[in-house]
Structure 1
Amino acid sequence: MNDPARRDSGSADPAPEETAPEVPEKAAYDTVEEAVRAQLSKALGGARGVVEAAIPTIGFTVSWIVTKELKLSLGIGAALAVVLLLVRLAQRSTVQFVLNSIFGIAIAALFALRSGKAQDAFLPGIIYNAGYAAALLLSIVVRWPLVGFIIGSVTGDPTAWHRDREIVRLCSRLTWLLLIPCLVRVAVQYPLYLAGHVAWLGAAKVVMGWPLQVAGLAAMVWLLARGRTPLDRPAS
């Protein structure tokens, strides 16, 4: 007669191995302000990306002032952008921001060569700033400020930030600080475009490019440095 105890002990399944408790990964950002600062810096490409965006415009403008040759000036601006691209490739660093510059030069050349007027090289930038300002203003009016989606890209939930009034208010202020430089550029450059002042347009585009952007970012950093809004993430 079989011993039930022995049969049970022989057929018993081995005890499952104990597993170490999972340790949650440390969040990359702890506050809304920290996340926005990091994402804005990434979007602009840092100081180098800003400088690279200005070099082709400077080359085009100086060449036009000296030679008054539209095709030559556009060629010099494009050549400078290509040189910047080759440097990036040689260093095996990201080419995203140089490619943006080359794309901008290509669109500017298309406008200018089609009309034969040097000032038309600056028209796409004016149109872009006007359209971007309109989109930013609309996002503020409907209470879905564009900067808020930066928060969503960090948390993994693109719309959860909108449930917090304080975050919506903060993002609206930050979006205004992105909007104002666009309005200033259009207000200054469009009259210069209508008057055909190419040299002044070039100077305005450079001065109101990275310096104005840096001023806007400085204001954003100042605003962000004042707050410590917790960055909530969805539970895993």
Structure 2
Amino acid sequence: MADVDASVPGAGDADGVVRSEADLRRYDTVEELLRDKLSEALGGWRGAVESAVPTLAFALVWARTENLRTALVVAGVCVAVLLVVRLVQRQDPRFIAYAAAGVAISAFFALRSGKAEDAFLPGMLQNAGLLVLLLVTNLTRWPLFGFVVGVAEPEAFAENPTWWRRHPGIVTVAARLAWVLIALNVVRLAIMVPLYLAEQVAALGVAKVVLGWPAYLLGITAMGAILLRGHTPIDPNRTA
């Protein structure tokens, strides 16, 4: 069946149902499409610093004082200062909001148990959950990065959230990118879980920072290599 141009009013399948499809004609390859969509989701070097500062502050204060409440308060103050700076500069505060949520959840776990190492438990649980989710979606051929493409085309997504699965190339490349994050989360858990079990709070803080944005940027570099070197057609049957 020939592809239907969604830009033509009333265009649809044989049964008369309108087919929602994003206009991908401006992209030559799947890699070009994903480069464009993923670049919108990254916070750059500043987002990396803002994510790392509260965690590093917590670990340093704990190593010096071994006072859980003091360490959490200092981490919270760091988040507040970074947020004020963003607001004064009238810049997007969403990455600070992510850091604030992380500190709040960590504080809840740590204060509830009275153990400083439990401040790192939510992050490890998140990594484990993401690892399982990425594995399941990849193995079932519903890679999460495909939804990144889908959401980035709001009109098509509103009509049909799975429109991107009509393009095998998008599914294939999205799965390749997910395998990079799967490997990253395996490394994170392999290092942090033993430190958590050994109650090594200072080492956990360092590990969380190093395995946070720096490791994530390495992952982004690997994904960038995939996106720069690949030439997967969005639709092999599409004519120019």
TM-score range, shorter chain: 0.7 to 0.9
Q: CA deviation at 1:226?
A: 1.2
Any runs of at least 4 consecutive aligned residues in structure 1 with deviations exceeding 4 A, and if so which? 25-30
* Partner Cα separation in structure 2 for residue 28 and residue 197 of structure 1: 51
Q: CA deviation at 1:184?
A: 1.2
- Stretches of structure 1 that go unaligned for 5 or more consecutive residues are 1-24
**Closer, same or farther: CA 86–29 of 1 in aligned 2, 3 Å:** farther
* Partner Cα separation in structure 1 for residue 134 and residue 206 of structure 2: 26
**Closer, same or farther: CA 147–56 of 1 in aligned 2, 3 Å:** same
Report the counterpart of residue 19 of structure 2 in structure 1: none
* Contact persistence 2:128–2:185 (CA under 8 A): yes
**Closer, same or farther: CA 136–26 of 1 in aligned 2, 3 Å:** closer
* Partner Cα separation in structure 1 for residue 36 and residue 79 of structure 2: 26
Q: CA deviation at 1:29?
A: 5.1
Q: CA deviation at 1:162?
A: 1.4
TM-score (norm 2): 0.81
* Partner Cα separation in structure 2 for residue 26 and residue 150 of structure 1: 14
Q: CA deviation at 1:31?
A: 3.6
* Partner Cα separation in structure 2 for residue 175 and residue 139 of structure 1: 9
Report the counterpart of residue 14 of structure 1 in structure 2: none
Report the counterpart of residue 142 of structure 1 in structure 2: 140
* Contact persistence 2:30–2:169 (CA under 8 A): no
Secondary structure, counterpart of 1:43 in structure 2: coil
* Partner Cα separation in structure 2 for residue 88 and residue 208 of structure 1: 25
CA RMSD of aligned residues (A): 1.9
Could you tell me which amino acid in structure 2 is paired with residue 209 of structure 1?
G
Report the counterpart of residue 222 of structure 1 in structure 2: 225
Percent of aligned positions that are identical: 49
Report the counterpart of residue 38 of structure 1 in structure 2: 36
If you compute each CA radius of gyration, which structure gives the higher value, 1 or 2?
Answer: 1
**Closer, same or farther: CA 54–27 of 1 in aligned 2, 3 Å:** farther
Whether 1:101 and 2:86 are equivalent positions in the alignment is no
Counterparts of 1:181-200 in structure 2 under 5 Å?
A: 181-200=184-203
Report the counterpart of residue 11 of structure 1 in structure 2: none
CA deviations on 1:133-161 (whole Å, 9 max, x unpaired) are 11111100111111111221234343232
Secondary structure, counterpart of 1:222 in structure 2: helix
* Contact persistence 1:77–1:105 (CA under 8 A): yes
Q: CA deviation at 1:65?
A: 0.7
Count, aligned residues? 208
- Stretches of structure 2 that go unaligned for 5 or more consecutive residues are 1-22, 236-240
**Closer, same or farther: CA 224–51 of 1 in aligned 2, 3 Å:** same
